[in-house]
Amino acid sequence: MPTMVDCPTCGNKVEWSEKSKYRPFCSERCKQIDLGAWAEEKYTIPAVNPPKDFEDDGLPPR
Q: 1-42, pLDDT tens digit by residue?
A: 889 999 999 999 999 999 999 999 999 999 999 999 999 989
Contact 23, 12 (CB under 8 A): no
Output the pLDDT for position 2.
87
27 labelled ligand-binding = no
pTM of full prediction above 0.85 = no
Q: Is the pLDDT of residue 55 over 60?
A: no
10 labelled ligand-binding = yes
User: Across residues 39-60, what is the average pLDDT?
Assistant: 72
12 labelled ligand-binding = no
- Domains in the chain with CATH codes: 4-39 (3.30.50.10)
31 labelled ligand-binding = no
Output the pLDDT for position 33.
97
Contact 14, 7 (CB under 8 A): yes
DSSP 5: E
